[in-house]
Structure 1
Amino acid sequence: MAVATSKNQPKSDAPKAAVKDLREGIELLKTMDGQFVSTDVEVDPQAELAGVYRKVGAGGTVMRPTQVGPAMLFENVKGYDISVIVGVLASRKRLAAFMGADEKHLGRHMLNAMHHAKDPVIVDSAPCQEQVHLASDPDFDLRTLLPAPTNTPEDAGPYFCMAVLRGTDPETGQHDVTIHRLCVQDRDEISVFMQTGRHIGMMYEKYDAKGEPMPITVSMGISPVEYMAISFEPPSTPYGFDELEFAGGLTGSPVELVKAKTVEEYAMATAEIVIEGHILPSRRVAEDQNTNTGYAMPEFPGYDGTANPSLPIIKVTAVTTRTNPILQTLVGPGEEHVSLAGIPTEGSLVQALEDALPGFVKNVYSHSAGGGKYVGILQVHKRDHNDQGRERQAALVAFGAFPEMKHIILVDDDVDIFDTDDVLWAMTTRFQAERSVIPIPGVRCHPLDPSADPDFLWTNFDHGISTKVIFDCTVPWELRDRFIRAPFQDVDVKRFLPDWTGA
């Protein structure tokens, strides 16, 4: 079991999640004020569903008007007898409740779970196989069986956005689970986009080189805690580390797997829906072959992604589900993606920063404006004059640990990194561009940033190259006595307002 952990991270009590599957998560949300809504009004999964949730709770980098709101269950989806839920993970408060953790230290909480990883266990029967639909049945058709939504009218097609692929390395026997975007292309075909460097993609390349189909399962509607564990990326989860081991540590019990019905692979036993099949060798299709829109779907930076002209195909062999399954989805650039990408990033950064500068960085936030990937805010604690300058070293460590990060904002420990107004206050009163902006040009970042292109800046000699920037909004040690915030008296507001729930 290849678990990557920090030598400076103390081993604390084992995490224990409050929920074990999606249905328990929904029931928990129903007990929390303002965290869950449902509707039985008919909704079209083609663009209308996402259009509704955009205003109700999408948040993130979605075009305004939007907000971070409750999870929403659509009980009446046009043309289907399957409900769709969206936004389950679109709130740190909800995730903290699912995990049993402090919402401002979710990254650290998740990192601690690395110390308690548990191997998955195999079960003989599972809820995800209560209903079985074989692709060999002449009436089988993914397009009418499952209500895969489109986010916008320009999408390449219907997408499964919360799809957990599980595959096995044909040479080493090591397993991996990764979330990839899947576009329904035909009655039994789905295109799969695997960004360079993702572990499932690396495994598929071995099958493809040998001309062999890769057995695969796609689990959807799993525990929200398992979704978060699966979203952890290197360096915390190197190649060969099965994120389901980590998920077991985060939930407090081993993840249950069940043998697929039609392929030599295993699926997540408590999933709402499982798709079984093979990723075919050699065969490629254009992502928008059925629509020719030129677009894929909205990506986390807030723009429509370009349709990929050549993607591998999953040839579906079966779909298995729970009785009365719930399809889980997300709005592409919404806060849900920020949670899936950003909170694991926070965990990885905590690990790297604690290794390099023990005790110096107090907390990390992967800000929503960067989709959880591009913008990091580091809260530092300068203890004496020797720590002056280490704030910028911390930023360099963060860039090295997570190459997709584009902007790092440094603040002192009297600034709330989760309050953008407070961060901008620090940028206003503790920042002078001439000394406080540190550009690092010509660095590989992320291909989905549309400004990372030679057309935007001629010195970017290739697409995906950025000028990374450190914004140092910290007070120089020798000037600290001149930047003390006004010292208000700390009082118990509940003595005056018993129902008060604010800060």
Structure 2
Amino acid sequence: MLREIVEKLNPIVIDKANRNEIAKILKTYNSPVYIKDVDGFEVVGNLWNRERLAKFFNVKKEDFIFFMLKNMENLKEKFIIDNSLRDLYINDSSIKKWPIPKYYKNDPGCYITSGVVIVKDEEYGYNLSIHRILVKDNYLVIRMVEQRHLHFLYTKALKEKGYLDVVIAIGCHPAVLLAASTSGDIYFDELKFASTLANGLKVFELDGMLIPEAEFIIKGRILDKLDDEGPFVDITGTYDKVRKQPIIEIDYLLRKEKPIFHALLPGGVEHKALMGLPQEPRMLKFIRNTIPTVKNVVLTEGGCCWLHAVVQIEKRTDGDGKNAILAALAAHPSLKHVVVVDEDINIFDINDVEYAIATRVQGDRDIIIIPGCKGSSLDPSAEKTTTKIGIDATVPLDKKDKFKRVEE
């Protein structure tokens, strides 16, 4: 499955590398990379950004947010249950043999960064999410944010039976990666979302769970035990701190006979895309409650696809720009700075956004500063709280002719 997808991406081909060279190679090229031999395995990276995802799903990049939103609101169980897929896998004895990279020199070890963590709860259904996972001698340590749904299901399972059953799938269809990166409420079933995005997702049964086809599979249990995790490079390209995090005990390992390992570069373009793109439709829907004429939302790459957003609106009344700012900050609590622009500004062109700021903003009138907010733990400049800023770069309704851009 992944092999056919990678071939269509026309990747740059590297003959051979060791696992400590993978990050350098991925940072060198801002396009898909295929490494033929890393410790006897094939490795790919830099697979997905906004443009490649839109092309894969046959959608214009400007409309990708609406493609995501439409499918989020119309979930369908389009599973293709094919238990013969289980025959594609062989048992493996040691995860240490897998080409799991050590990305940067100060990393405490090798990290799984593209693994989709799959759990099933009788009350809430399937939950898919992506977390960084440190490989220790014979167990794993998973970074689990307390506010996220996996942690909620983990604490629930600890009370019920003392551990949480988990499957980690590496080398998945992009629909699975997008679904696992999407934030819904606790009842939002990411496996259904993946099947809807893919318009038919191949899955097979494994220990009572439906598992999407992948290249590598880890079956384990998240225990009520902790170990050090970190420091590790996160989306800002800076090191996160060391924390005590839950241990995953490995029950067994499966892989395809000739698998391809997906290395997701921490802080790279693929990391940013998979974190940011799935947040945009949720933001659009939330902002629409306040500004029905919101046209589009983008989390910018320069803002790590997490801390900065541009919101495009059709301004109908005075104050719409300011209200859009407040709605955007509420929609994505990690957001730090947001710019609101008119329909004539191309929000995918940062120079056009800067033009709007340069020609349509007066600091004392159009900039909102909100100190003392709960922000993102990924922001290295934040301390206990963060200061959030909104810039209203929309044209005053009574002066639209003054700001009209000459076309001829």
- In our comparison, the structure showing a higher alpha carbon Rg is 1
2:24 to 51, 75, 79: 51
Alpha-carbon displacement from aligned partner over 1:194-220 (angstroms, at most 9, x marks no partner): 111211211111222346221110011
1:246 aligns with 2:193: yes
CA contact (8 A) 1:162 1:179 kept: yes
The alpha carbon displacement at 1:173 in A equals 5.7
Give the match for residue 315 of structure 1. Answer: 249
1:256 aligns with 2:236: no
Change (3 A) 1:128 1:147: farther
What are the Cα deviations for residues 397-446 of structure 1, in whole angstroms up to 9, with x where unaligned? Answer: 11112111111111111111111111111111111212221001111111
Residues 120 and 126 of structure 1, relative CA distance in 2, 3 Å threshold: farther
Residue matched to 2:279: 345
Residue 277 of structure 1 aligns with an amino acid whose one-letter code is G
Say if 2:324 is the partner of 1:394: yes
AA of the residue aligned to 1:238 = D
CA RMSD of aligned residues (A): 1.8
CA shift, 1:123, in A, is 3.1
- How much does 1:122 deviate? 7.0
* C-alpha distance after superposition, 1:21-47 (max 9, x if no partner): 4233213213xxxxx21111x21212x
Give the alignment partner of residue 82 of structure 1, picking from 41, 60, 67.
41
Please report how far the alpha carbon of residue 120 of structure 1 lies from its aligned counterpart in structure 2 after TM superposition: 5.8
Which residue of 109, 117, 127 corresponds with 1:157?
A: 109
Partner of 1:207: 157
2:14 maps to which of 39, 42, 45: 39
Q: Which residue of 2 aligns with 1:501?
A: none
**CA–CA distance in structure 2, aligned partners of residues 228 and 373 of structure 1:** 15
Match of 1:492 in 2: none
Contact 1:108–1:350, Cα closer than 8 Å, also in 2: no
Aligned to 1:26: 6
Cα deviation, 1:338-374, whole Å, max 9, x if unaligned, reads 211211111111111223322x211111001222111
Q: Distance in 1 between matches of 2:406 and 2:271?
A: 37
SS at structure 2 position matched to 1:247: helix
* Contact kept? 1:375, 1:406, Cα under 8 Å: yes
Partner residue, 1:267: 211
Which residue is 1:376 aligned to? 309
- Cα 1:120–1:218 change in 2 (3 A) is farther
Once the 2 structures are TM-superposed, how far is the Cα of residue 124 of structure 1 from its aligned partner?
A: 5.1
Aligned-pair distance for 1:174? 2.2
Which residue of the other structure, out of 83, 89, 104, is the alignment partner of 1:131? Answer: 89
SS in 1 for 2:227: coil
Deviates further, 154-163 or 200-209: 200-209
Q: Distance in 1 between matches of 2:291 and 2:393?
A: 19
CA contact (8 A) 1:128 1:273 kept: no
The answer to whether the 8 A contact 2:128-2:179 is kept is: no
CA distance 1:24–1:355, change in 2 (3 Å): farther
Specify which of 378, 384, 387 is matched with residue 467 of structure 1.
387
Return the alpha-carbon distance in structure 2 between the equivalents of residues 422 and 126 of structure 1: 52
Q: Is the 8 A contact 1:130 1:323 kept in 2?
A: yes
- 1:353 alignment partner, SS class: helix
Structure 1 segments unaligned to the other structure (5+ residues)? 1-20, 31-35, 58-69, 135-139, 288-294, 454-462, 489-503
8 Å Cα contact 1:337/1:371 also seen in 2 = no
Work out which of the residue numbers 179, 199, 203 in structure 2 matches 1:229: 179
The separation in 2 between residues aligned to 1:129 and 1:448, in whole angstroms, is 41
- Structure with greater strand share of residues: 2
Paired residue for 2:132?
Answer: 181
- 1:302 and 2:254 aligned: no
User: In 1, distance between residues paired with 2:196 and 2:396?
Assistant: 41
Counterpart CA distance in 2 for 1:250 and 1:117 is 9
The answer to whether the 8 Å contact 1:216/1:265 transfers is no
**Aligned residue pair count:** 408
Please state if 1:143 is matched with 2:63: no
2:405 to 461, 481, 485: 485
Deviation of 1:393 after TM superposition, in Å, equals 0.5
Note the 1:432-443 alignment, pairs <5 A. 432-443=362-373
Matches of 1:92 and 1:374 in 2, distance apart?
17
Q: Which amino acid aligns with 2:137?
A: D
Secondary structure of 2:145's counterpart equals coil
Q: Which amino acid aligns with 1:319?
A: L
Q: Secondary structure at the match of 1:451?
A: coil
Deviation at 1:128, TM superposition (A): 5.8
Q: In structure 2, how many angstroms separate the alpha carbons of the residues matched to 1:247 and 1:473?
A: 36
Alignment partner for residue 408 of structure 1, among 331, 338, 343? 338
CA contact (8 A) 1:71 1:88 kept: yes
Instruction: Say whether residues 1:367 and 2:300 are aligned partners.
Output: yes
Tell me the percent identity.
Answer: 29
- Structure 2 unaligned spans of 5+: none
Match of 2:340, SS state, is: strand
Work out whether residues 290 and 323 of structure 2, in 8 Å CA contact, stay in contact via their aligned partners in 1: no
Is the partner of 1:175 in helix, strand or coil? strand
With normalisation by structure 2, the TM-score equals: 0.95
The reply to whether residue 285 of structure 1 matches residue 230 of structure 2 is no
Q: 1:408 to 1:271 in 2, by over 3 A?
A: same
User: 1:67 matched to which residue of 2?
Assistant: none
Please list every run of at least 4 consecutive aligned residues from structure 1 whose deviation after the TM superposition is greater than 4 angstroms. none
